[in-house]
Amino acid sequence: MDEEMLVSFPALFECLQQDQLNEFRDIFFDLHVYEQGQFYLSLDAEDRQKLYTYLSPQEMANMFDVIEEDQEDVDQLLKEMDPNYASDMLTFMFTDNAVDTLNQLDKKDVSMYLSIMEPESAKEIKNLLHYEDDTAGSIMTTEYVAVEAEQTVASALQYLKKVGREAEIIYYIFVTDEDGFLVGVISLRDLIVSDEEELIKDVMSERVVSVKVGDDQEDVARMIRDYDFLAMPVTDYRNRLLGIITVDDIIDVIDEEAASDYSGLAGVDVEEVADNPFQSAAKRLPWLVTLLVLSMSTATLIGHYEALVSKASILAVFISLITGTAGNAGTQSLAVAVRRLALQANDRSFFRLILAEILTGLITGLITGFTICVLVGVWKQNFMLGFVIGFAMMCAITVANLAGSLIPMVMDKLGFDPAVASGPFITTLSDLTSVLIYFNIAGIFMQYFIK
Protein backbone atom coordinates (compact mmCIF):
# COMPACT_ATOMS: atom_id res chain seq x y z
CA MET A 1 0.00 0.00 0.00
CA ASP A 2 1.57 3.32 -1.08
CA GLU A 3 2.08 6.37 1.12
CA GLU A 4 -0.88 8.31 -0.33
CA MET A 5 -3.27 5.48 0.45
CA LEU A 6 -1.90 5.19 3.99
CA VAL A 7 -2.58 8.90 4.52
CA SER A 8 -5.99 8.96 2.80
CA PHE A 9 -7.61 5.91 4.40
CA PRO A 10 -7.61 7.23 8.00
CA ALA A 11 -8.92 10.59 6.79
CA LEU A 12 -11.68 8.89 4.82
CA PHE A 13 -12.61 6.71 7.76
CA GLU A 14 -12.79 9.75 10.04
CA CYS A 15 -15.06 11.58 7.58
CA LEU A 16 -17.27 8.51 7.39
CA GLN A 17 -17.54 8.27 11.16
CA GLN A 18 -18.30 11.99 11.57
CA ASP A 19 -20.84 12.10 8.72
CA GLN A 20 -18.78 14.59 6.73
CA LEU A 21 -20.21 13.79 3.30
CA ASN A 22 -18.64 16.57 1.23
CA GLU A 23 -15.18 16.17 2.79
CA PHE A 24 -15.39 12.41 2.28
CA ARG A 25 -16.26 12.74 -1.41
CA ASP A 26 -13.48 15.28 -2.00
CA ILE A 27 -10.84 12.91 -0.60
CA PHE A 28 -12.42 9.75 -2.00
CA PHE A 29 -12.56 10.90 -5.62
CA ASP A 30 -8.97 12.10 -5.50
CA LEU A 31 -7.99 8.41 -5.22
CA HIS A 32 -7.56 6.05 -8.14
CA VAL A 33 -10.58 3.79 -8.63
CA TYR A 34 -8.51 0.78 -7.51
CA GLU A 35 -7.61 2.60 -4.29
CA GLN A 36 -11.29 3.45 -3.81
CA GLY A 37 -12.07 -0.24 -4.07
CA GLN A 38 -9.41 -1.17 -1.54
CA PHE A 39 -10.82 1.34 0.94
CA TYR A 40 -14.31 -0.08 0.39
CA LEU A 41 -13.07 -3.63 1.04
CA SER A 42 -11.26 -2.51 4.21
CA LEU A 43 -14.55 -1.44 5.82
CA ASP A 44 -16.78 -3.61 7.96
CA ALA A 45 -20.42 -4.23 7.05
CA GLU A 46 -21.73 -1.36 9.18
CA ASP A 47 -19.43 1.22 7.60
CA ARG A 48 -20.15 -0.10 4.12
CA GLN A 49 -23.84 0.53 4.73
CA LYS A 50 -23.04 4.19 5.34
CA LEU A 51 -20.83 4.28 2.25
CA TYR A 52 -23.79 3.18 0.11
CA THR A 53 -25.58 6.38 1.11
CA TYR A 54 -22.53 8.45 0.16
CA LEU A 55 -22.03 6.97 -3.32
CA SER A 56 -24.45 6.60 -6.21
CA PRO A 57 -24.92 3.19 -7.89
CA GLN A 58 -22.92 4.50 -10.85
CA GLU A 59 -20.01 5.54 -8.64
CA MET A 60 -20.13 2.17 -6.89
CA ALA A 61 -20.17 0.45 -10.30
CA ASN A 62 -16.84 2.07 -11.22
CA MET A 63 -15.28 0.37 -8.17
CA PHE A 64 -16.90 -2.99 -8.80
CA ASP A 65 -15.62 -2.97 -12.37
CA VAL A 66 -12.14 -3.13 -10.82
CA ILE A 67 -12.61 -5.38 -7.79
CA GLU A 68 -15.31 -7.86 -8.83
CA GLU A 69 -12.92 -10.42 -10.35
CA ASP A 70 -10.90 -10.87 -7.16
CA GLN A 71 -13.79 -11.06 -4.71
CA GLU A 72 -14.96 -14.53 -3.76
CA ASP A 73 -17.58 -13.09 -1.38
CA VAL A 74 -19.13 -10.72 -3.93
CA ASP A 75 -22.52 -12.32 -3.28
CA GLN A 76 -22.36 -11.21 0.36
CA LEU A 77 -21.41 -7.68 -0.68
CA LEU A 78 -24.41 -7.48 -3.00
CA LYS A 79 -26.77 -8.83 -0.34
CA GLU A 80 -25.69 -5.99 1.97
CA MET A 81 -27.07 -3.50 -0.52
CA ASP A 82 -30.67 -2.62 -1.17
CA PRO A 83 -31.74 -4.84 -4.13
CA ASN A 84 -32.67 -1.81 -6.25
CA TYR A 85 -29.32 -0.15 -5.48
CA ALA A 86 -27.43 -3.36 -6.35
CA SER A 87 -29.43 -3.82 -9.54
CA ASP A 88 -28.72 -0.24 -10.65
CA MET A 89 -25.04 -0.74 -9.87
CA LEU A 90 -24.92 -3.88 -12.04
CA THR A 91 -26.60 -1.94 -14.84
CA PHE A 92 -23.90 0.75 -14.76
CA MET A 93 -21.05 -1.80 -14.75
CA PHE A 94 -19.48 -2.88 -18.02
CA THR A 95 -21.55 -5.78 -19.26
CA ASP A 96 -18.78 -8.37 -19.12
CA ASN A 97 -17.96 -7.40 -15.52
CA ALA A 98 -21.63 -7.51 -14.54
CA VAL A 99 -21.86 -10.99 -16.04
CA ASP A 100 -18.77 -12.13 -14.13
CA THR A 101 -20.34 -10.81 -10.93
CA LEU A 102 -23.69 -12.50 -11.56
CA ASN A 103 -21.97 -15.78 -12.39
CA GLN A 104 -20.81 -15.91 -8.76
CA LEU A 105 -24.40 -15.73 -7.44
CA ASP A 106 -27.15 -18.27 -6.98
CA LYS A 107 -29.57 -18.55 -9.90
CA LYS A 108 -32.37 -17.30 -7.67
CA ASP A 109 -30.45 -14.09 -6.89
CA VAL A 110 -29.50 -13.62 -10.55
CA SER A 111 -33.16 -13.85 -11.56
CA MET A 112 -34.10 -11.30 -8.89
CA TYR A 113 -31.56 -8.70 -10.04
CA LEU A 114 -32.42 -9.20 -13.70
CA SER A 115 -36.11 -8.77 -12.97
CA ILE A 116 -35.46 -5.39 -11.30
CA MET A 117 -33.21 -4.08 -14.08
CA GLU A 118 -34.44 -2.15 -17.05
CA PRO A 119 -35.44 -4.64 -19.79
CA GLU A 120 -32.78 -3.49 -22.26
CA SER A 121 -29.91 -3.91 -19.78
CA ALA A 122 -31.28 -7.22 -18.51
CA LYS A 123 -31.55 -8.56 -22.07
CA GLU A 124 -27.95 -7.63 -22.84
CA ILE A 125 -26.69 -9.36 -19.70
CA LYS A 126 -28.85 -12.45 -20.29
CA ASN A 127 -27.35 -12.85 -23.77
CA LEU A 128 -23.85 -13.07 -22.28
CA LEU A 129 -24.90 -15.32 -19.38
CA HIS A 130 -25.86 -18.00 -21.89
CA TYR A 131 -22.32 -18.52 -23.14
CA GLU A 132 -20.31 -21.40 -21.71
CA ASP A 133 -17.70 -20.66 -19.07
CA ASP A 134 -14.11 -20.12 -20.23
CA THR A 135 -15.12 -19.22 -23.78
CA ALA A 136 -14.67 -15.97 -25.69
CA GLY A 137 -18.38 -15.29 -25.34
CA SER A 138 -18.25 -15.48 -21.56
CA ILE A 139 -15.57 -12.77 -21.26
CA MET A 140 -16.50 -10.41 -24.09
CA THR A 141 -18.17 -7.06 -23.62
CA THR A 142 -20.82 -5.50 -25.82
CA GLU A 143 -19.71 -1.94 -25.02
CA TYR A 144 -17.65 -1.23 -28.12
CA VAL A 145 -17.70 1.20 -31.03
CA ALA A 146 -18.60 -0.06 -34.49
CA VAL A 147 -19.25 2.01 -37.59
CA GLU A 148 -20.47 1.07 -41.05
CA ALA A 149 -18.15 0.85 -44.03
CA GLU A 150 -20.27 3.27 -46.11
CA GLN A 151 -20.09 6.05 -43.49
CA THR A 152 -17.86 9.07 -43.95
CA VAL A 153 -15.04 9.75 -41.54
CA ALA A 154 -16.88 12.88 -40.35
CA SER A 155 -20.04 10.95 -39.45
CA ALA A 156 -17.97 8.24 -37.77
CA LEU A 157 -16.21 10.84 -35.60
CA GLN A 158 -19.53 12.39 -34.68
CA TYR A 159 -20.90 8.96 -33.76
CA LEU A 160 -17.77 8.21 -31.72
CA LYS A 161 -18.26 11.38 -29.67
CA LYS A 162 -21.83 10.33 -29.01
CA VAL A 163 -21.25 6.73 -27.86
CA GLY A 164 -17.56 6.73 -26.90
CA ARG A 165 -18.21 7.55 -23.25
CA GLU A 166 -20.17 4.32 -22.85
CA ALA A 167 -17.61 2.12 -24.65
CA GLU A 168 -15.03 0.13 -22.72
CA ILE A 169 -12.32 0.97 -25.24
CA ILE A 170 -12.25 3.35 -28.23
CA TYR A 171 -8.70 2.90 -29.53
CA TYR A 172 -10.01 0.46 -32.13
CA ILE A 173 -13.18 1.15 -34.11
CA PHE A 174 -14.54 -1.94 -35.79
CA VAL A 175 -16.24 -1.72 -39.15
CA THR A 176 -19.30 -3.68 -40.23
CA ASP A 177 -21.45 -3.82 -43.33
CA GLU A 178 -25.13 -2.96 -43.24
CA ASP A 179 -25.96 -6.48 -42.02
CA GLY A 180 -23.57 -6.34 -39.04
CA PHE A 181 -20.84 -8.55 -40.51
CA LEU A 182 -17.27 -7.64 -39.55
CA VAL A 183 -15.39 -6.27 -42.57
CA GLY A 184 -12.59 -4.14 -41.17
CA VAL A 185 -11.01 -2.11 -38.38
CA ILE A 186 -9.62 1.39 -38.07
CA SER A 187 -7.54 2.83 -35.25
CA LEU A 188 -8.58 6.00 -33.48
CA ARG A 189 -5.43 7.70 -34.74
CA ASP A 190 -6.13 6.83 -38.37
CA LEU A 191 -9.72 7.97 -37.99
CA ILE A 192 -8.67 11.35 -36.60
CA VAL A 193 -6.02 12.07 -39.26
CA SER A 194 -8.11 10.90 -42.25
CA ASP A 195 -9.94 13.33 -44.53
CA GLU A 196 -13.44 13.88 -43.17
CA GLU A 197 -15.03 13.37 -46.61
CA GLU A 198 -13.47 9.94 -47.15
CA LEU A 199 -15.51 6.79 -46.65
CA ILE A 200 -14.58 4.46 -43.84
CA LYS A 201 -14.17 1.57 -46.30
CA ASP A 202 -11.39 3.51 -48.04
CA VAL A 203 -9.30 4.14 -44.92
CA MET A 204 -9.99 1.00 -42.86
CA SER A 205 -7.80 -2.11 -42.70
CA GLU A 206 -9.59 -5.10 -44.19
CA ARG A 207 -7.30 -7.57 -42.45
CA VAL A 208 -9.02 -8.13 -39.11
CA VAL A 209 -7.88 -10.73 -36.59
CA SER A 210 -10.92 -11.99 -34.70
CA VAL A 211 -12.03 -14.92 -32.57
CA LYS A 212 -15.20 -16.97 -32.58
CA VAL A 213 -17.63 -16.74 -29.71
CA GLY A 214 -17.05 -20.38 -28.72
CA ASP A 215 -13.22 -20.25 -28.75
CA ASP A 216 -11.47 -21.19 -25.52
CA GLN A 217 -10.45 -18.17 -23.44
CA GLU A 218 -6.89 -19.47 -23.14
CA ASP A 219 -6.56 -19.50 -26.94
CA VAL A 220 -7.92 -15.95 -27.06
CA ALA A 221 -5.39 -14.84 -24.43
CA ARG A 222 -2.61 -16.37 -26.47
CA MET A 223 -3.73 -14.54 -29.62
CA ILE A 224 -3.93 -11.17 -27.89
CA ARG A 225 -0.47 -11.77 -26.42
CA ASP A 226 0.98 -12.77 -29.80
CA TYR A 227 -0.56 -9.86 -31.73
CA ASP A 228 -0.05 -7.37 -28.88
CA PHE A 229 -3.62 -6.10 -29.17
CA LEU A 230 -5.55 -3.97 -26.69
CA ALA A 231 -8.82 -5.54 -27.84
CA MET A 232 -10.01 -8.25 -30.19
CA PRO A 233 -13.41 -8.58 -31.90
CA VAL A 234 -15.63 -11.60 -31.25
CA THR A 235 -17.87 -12.90 -34.01
CA ASP A 236 -20.40 -15.67 -34.46
CA TYR A 237 -19.73 -18.47 -36.94
CA ARG A 238 -21.12 -16.34 -39.78
CA ASN A 239 -18.66 -13.51 -38.94
CA ARG A 240 -21.32 -11.23 -37.45
CA LEU A 241 -19.76 -8.92 -34.84
CA LEU A 242 -21.02 -9.74 -31.32
CA GLY A 243 -18.59 -7.98 -28.97
CA ILE A 244 -14.96 -7.41 -28.08
CA ILE A 245 -12.50 -8.78 -25.54
CA THR A 246 -10.24 -6.21 -23.91
CA VAL A 247 -6.73 -6.72 -22.59
CA ASP A 248 -7.77 -6.18 -18.94
CA ASP A 249 -10.04 -9.22 -19.18
CA ILE A 250 -7.20 -11.18 -20.77
CA ILE A 251 -4.95 -10.34 -17.81
CA ASP A 252 -7.61 -11.87 -15.56
CA VAL A 253 -7.73 -14.96 -17.80
CA ILE A 254 -3.94 -15.37 -17.70
CA ASP A 255 -4.01 -15.07 -13.90
CA GLU A 256 -6.88 -17.57 -13.68
CA GLU A 257 -5.19 -20.08 -16.00
CA ALA A 258 -1.88 -19.74 -14.14
CA ALA A 259 -3.64 -20.41 -10.84
CA SER A 260 -5.40 -23.41 -12.40
CA ASP A 261 -2.12 -24.84 -13.73
CA TYR A 262 -0.36 -24.28 -10.42
CA SER A 263 -3.24 -25.89 -8.55
CA GLY A 264 -2.93 -28.94 -10.78
CA LEU A 265 0.83 -29.15 -10.38
CA ALA A 266 0.57 -28.82 -6.59
CA GLY A 267 -2.48 -31.06 -6.21
CA VAL A 268 -4.30 -28.38 -4.19
CA ASP A 269 -6.53 -25.39 -4.89
CA VAL A 270 -4.23 -22.39 -4.52
CA GLU A 271 -7.24 -20.07 -4.30
CA GLU A 272 -8.15 -21.46 -0.87
CA VAL A 273 -6.02 -19.07 1.14
CA ALA A 274 -9.00 -17.23 2.60
CA ASP A 275 -10.78 -20.39 3.74
CA ASN A 276 -10.93 -21.52 7.33
CA PRO A 277 -8.87 -24.60 8.37
CA PHE A 278 -11.79 -27.02 8.02
CA GLN A 279 -12.55 -25.86 4.47
CA SER A 280 -8.86 -26.00 3.56
CA ALA A 281 -8.56 -29.53 4.92
CA ALA A 282 -11.69 -30.62 3.04
CA LYS A 283 -10.18 -29.40 -0.23
CA ARG A 284 -6.79 -31.02 0.32
CA LEU A 285 -7.90 -34.38 1.69
CA PRO A 286 -9.22 -35.99 -1.55
CA TRP A 287 -5.83 -35.73 -3.27
CA LEU A 288 -3.94 -36.75 -0.13
CA VAL A 289 -6.12 -39.84 0.41
CA THR A 290 -5.80 -40.81 -3.27
CA LEU A 291 -2.03 -40.44 -3.14
CA LEU A 292 -1.96 -42.36 0.15
CA VAL A 293 -3.60 -45.32 -1.58
CA LEU A 294 -1.06 -45.11 -4.41
CA SER A 295 1.77 -44.89 -1.88
CA MET A 296 0.51 -48.10 -0.27
CA SER A 297 1.25 -49.77 -3.60
CA THR A 298 4.85 -48.63 -3.26
CA ALA A 299 5.02 -49.96 0.31
CA THR A 300 3.52 -53.27 -0.84
CA LEU A 301 6.08 -53.48 -3.63
CA ILE A 302 8.94 -52.88 -1.19
CA GLY A 303 7.48 -55.63 1.00
CA HIS A 304 7.62 -57.96 -2.00
CA TYR A 305 11.40 -57.52 -2.03
CA GLU A 306 11.79 -58.10 1.71
CA ALA A 307 13.87 -61.23 1.15
CA LEU A 308 16.25 -59.29 -1.11
CA VAL A 309 16.62 -56.51 1.48
CA SER A 310 17.27 -59.06 4.26
CA LYS A 311 20.18 -60.47 2.24
CA ALA A 312 21.57 -57.01 1.41
CA SER A 313 20.32 -54.56 4.02
CA ILE A 314 22.52 -51.83 2.51
CA LEU A 315 19.92 -51.52 -0.27
CA ALA A 316 17.40 -49.99 2.14
CA VAL A 317 19.71 -47.01 2.69
CA PHE A 318 19.31 -45.82 -0.89
CA ILE A 319 15.55 -46.30 -1.46
CA SER A 320 14.62 -42.71 -0.64
CA LEU A 321 17.60 -41.44 -2.66
CA ILE A 322 16.43 -43.26 -5.81
CA THR A 323 12.72 -42.44 -5.43
CA GLY A 324 13.30 -38.81 -4.41
CA THR A 325 15.60 -38.02 -7.31
CA ALA A 326 13.34 -39.74 -9.84
CA GLY A 327 10.33 -37.90 -8.44
CA ASN A 328 12.11 -34.56 -8.80
CA ALA A 329 13.02 -35.39 -12.41
CA GLY A 330 9.42 -36.36 -13.16
CA THR A 331 8.09 -33.13 -11.67
CA GLN A 332 10.57 -31.08 -13.73
CA SER A 333 9.50 -32.87 -16.88
CA LEU A 334 5.83 -32.36 -16.02
CA ALA A 335 6.29 -28.62 -15.53
CA VAL A 336 8.09 -28.28 -18.87
CA ALA A 337 5.44 -30.36 -20.67
CA VAL A 338 2.55 -28.33 -19.25
CA ARG A 339 4.32 -25.10 -20.17
CA ARG A 340 4.99 -26.37 -23.69
CA LEU A 341 1.33 -27.24 -24.13
CA ALA A 342 0.27 -23.85 -22.75
CA LEU A 343 2.48 -22.15 -25.35
CA GLN A 344 1.33 -24.56 -28.04
CA ALA A 345 5.00 -25.22 -28.77
CA ASN A 346 4.22 -28.56 -30.36
CA ASP A 347 5.39 -28.02 -33.91
CA ARG A 348 7.30 -31.28 -33.72
CA SER A 349 5.47 -34.57 -34.00
CA PHE A 350 4.30 -36.42 -30.91
CA PHE A 351 6.87 -39.18 -31.37
CA ARG A 352 9.75 -36.75 -31.92
CA LEU A 353 8.85 -35.03 -28.65
CA ILE A 354 8.79 -38.37 -26.85
CA LEU A 355 12.18 -39.30 -28.34
CA ALA A 356 13.57 -35.94 -27.21
CA GLU A 357 12.31 -36.53 -23.66
CA ILE A 358 13.83 -40.02 -23.58
CA LEU A 359 17.19 -38.61 -24.67
CA THR A 360 16.90 -35.82 -22.09
CA GLY A 361 16.16 -38.41 -19.41
CA LEU A 362 19.08 -40.55 -20.50
CA ILE A 363 21.52 -37.62 -20.44
CA THR A 364 20.42 -36.33 -17.03
CA GLY A 365 20.16 -39.88 -15.72
CA LEU A 366 23.62 -40.82 -16.98
CA ILE A 367 25.30 -37.81 -15.38
CA THR A 368 23.38 -38.16 -12.11
CA GLY A 369 23.92 -41.91 -12.05
CA PHE A 370 27.65 -41.59 -12.67
CA THR A 371 27.92 -39.00 -9.89
CA ILE A 372 26.14 -41.19 -7.33
CA CYS A 373 28.12 -44.23 -8.52
CA VAL A 374 31.40 -42.51 -7.64
CA LEU A 375 30.08 -41.13 -4.34
CA VAL A 376 28.70 -44.49 -3.15
CA GLY A 377 31.80 -46.34 -4.38
CA VAL A 378 34.11 -44.09 -2.37
CA TRP A 379 31.79 -43.95 0.65
CA LYS A 380 31.18 -47.71 0.92
CA GLN A 381 34.44 -48.79 -0.68
CA ASN A 382 32.32 -50.89 -3.06
CA PHE A 383 32.16 -49.63 -6.64
CA MET A 384 29.95 -52.52 -7.73
CA LEU A 385 27.33 -51.31 -5.25
CA GLY A 386 27.88 -47.80 -6.61
CA PHE A 387 27.30 -49.09 -10.14
CA VAL A 388 24.01 -50.73 -9.11
CA ILE A 389 22.79 -47.53 -7.42
CA GLY A 390 23.93 -45.35 -10.33
CA PHE A 391 22.46 -47.63 -13.03
CA ALA A 392 19.15 -47.86 -11.16
CA MET A 393 19.03 -44.10 -10.78
CA MET A 394 19.71 -43.55 -14.47
CA CYS A 395 16.87 -45.90 -15.46
CA ALA A 396 14.49 -44.46 -12.85
CA ILE A 397 15.15 -40.86 -13.98
CA THR A 398 14.66 -41.79 -17.64
CA VAL A 399 11.31 -43.46 -16.92
CA ALA A 400 10.16 -40.63 -14.62
CA ASN A 401 11.17 -38.02 -17.20
CA LEU A 402 9.22 -39.87 -19.87
CA ALA A 403 6.15 -40.23 -17.65
CA GLY A 404 6.25 -36.55 -16.68
CA SER A 405 6.08 -35.58 -20.35
CA LEU A 406 3.94 -38.38 -21.74
CA ILE A 407 1.04 -38.22 -19.28
CA PRO A 408 0.13 -34.52 -19.77
CA MET A 409 0.60 -34.85 -23.53
CA VAL A 410 -1.77 -37.83 -23.67
CA MET A 411 -4.27 -36.01 -21.45
CA ASP A 412 -4.14 -33.00 -23.78
CA LYS A 413 -4.73 -35.26 -26.80
CA LEU A 414 -7.78 -36.72 -25.01
CA GLY A 415 -9.15 -33.25 -24.30
CA PHE A 416 -8.37 -33.06 -20.57
CA ASP A 417 -6.50 -30.31 -18.72
CA PRO A 418 -2.84 -31.47 -18.72
CA ALA A 419 -2.21 -29.68 -15.39
CA VAL A 420 -4.45 -32.27 -13.70
CA ALA A 421 -1.46 -34.61 -14.01
CA SER A 422 -0.25 -33.01 -10.80
CA GLY A 423 3.24 -32.99 -9.31
CA PRO A 424 2.26 -35.17 -6.32
CA PHE A 425 0.71 -37.76 -8.66
CA ILE A 426 3.80 -37.91 -10.88
CA THR A 427 6.03 -38.11 -7.80
CA THR A 428 4.03 -41.03 -6.37
CA LEU A 429 4.03 -42.80 -9.73
CA SER A 430 7.80 -42.28 -9.96
CA ASP A 431 8.22 -43.83 -6.51
CA LEU A 432 6.42 -46.95 -7.69
CA THR A 433 8.42 -47.37 -10.90
CA SER A 434 11.72 -46.43 -9.18
CA VAL A 435 11.33 -49.12 -6.53
CA LEU A 436 10.50 -51.71 -9.19
CA ILE A 437 13.55 -50.73 -11.28
CA TYR A 438 15.88 -50.45 -8.29
CA PHE A 439 15.22 -53.85 -6.75
CA ASN A 440 15.15 -55.70 -10.06
CA ILE A 441 18.57 -54.29 -11.00
CA ALA A 442 19.86 -54.98 -7.50
CA GLY A 443 18.59 -58.56 -7.72
CA ILE A 444 20.47 -59.13 -10.96
CA PHE A 445 23.80 -57.80 -9.67
CA MET A 446 23.46 -58.72 -5.99
CA GLN A 447 26.06 -61.50 -6.12
CA TYR A 448 28.68 -58.98 -7.29
CA PHE A 449 28.38 -56.38 -4.51
CA ILE A 450 27.60 -58.52 -1.42
CA LYS A 451 30.83 -59.29 0.39
Q: Could you write out the DSSP letters of every residue in 53-108?
A: HHS-HHHHHHHHHHHGGG-TTHHHHHHHS-HHHHHHHHHHS-HHHHHHHHTTS-HH
Are 163 and 113 members of one domain?
A: no
230, 255, 280: which is the final residue of a domain?
255
Task: Using pLDDT thresholds of 50, 70 and 90, give the confidence band for residue 195.
Answer: very high
The answer to whether residue 47 is domain-embedded is: yes
255, 284, 315: which is the final residue of a domain?
255
Q: What is the CATH number of the domain that holds 209?
A: 3.10.580.10
The answer to whether residue 350 is domain-embedded is: yes
- Give how far Cα 113 sits from Cα of 64, 65, 86, 139, 141, Å: 16, 17, 8, 20, 19
Write the pLDDT tens digit of every residue in 240-279.
999 999 988 888 887 776 666 555 555 555 555 545 677 6
The answer to whether residue 141 is domain-embedded is: no
Write the pLDDT tens digit of every residue in 368-421.
999 999 999 899 888 999 999 999 999 999 998 888 888 877 777 776 666 555
Contact 149, 201 (CB under 8 A): yes
Are 237 and 155 members of one domain?
A: yes
Are 249 and 281 members of one domain?
A: no
Are 95 and 122 members of one domain?
A: yes
Are 185 and 101 members of one domain?
A: no
145 vs 338: which has the higher pLDDT: 145
Using CA atoms in the order 385, 390, 396, 402, what is the torsion angle rounded to 10 degrees?
A: -160
Are 305 and 433 members of one domain?
A: yes
Task: Using pLDDT thresholds of 50, 70 and 90, give the confidence band for residue 287.
Answer: low
Are 290 and 395 members of one domain?
A: yes
Measured over the CA atoms of residue 61, residue 66, residue 69 and residue 71, the dihedral's sign is negative
Are 173 and 74 members of one domain?
A: no
| Total domains, the chain | 3
- Helical segments of 168-318, H only: 188-193, 200-203, 217-227, 247-266, 277-304, 306-311
241: helix, strand or coil: strand
Beta-strand pair 146-148/172-176: parallel
Measured over the CA atoms of residue 216, residue 257, residue 42 and residue 272, the dihedral's sign is positive
pLDDT score recorded for residue 97: 87
Are 177 and 207 members of one domain?
A: yes
The answer to whether residue 140 is domain-embedded is: no
Say how many CA atoms lie within 13 Å of 121 toward its Cβ: 17
Domain extent for 106:
3-131
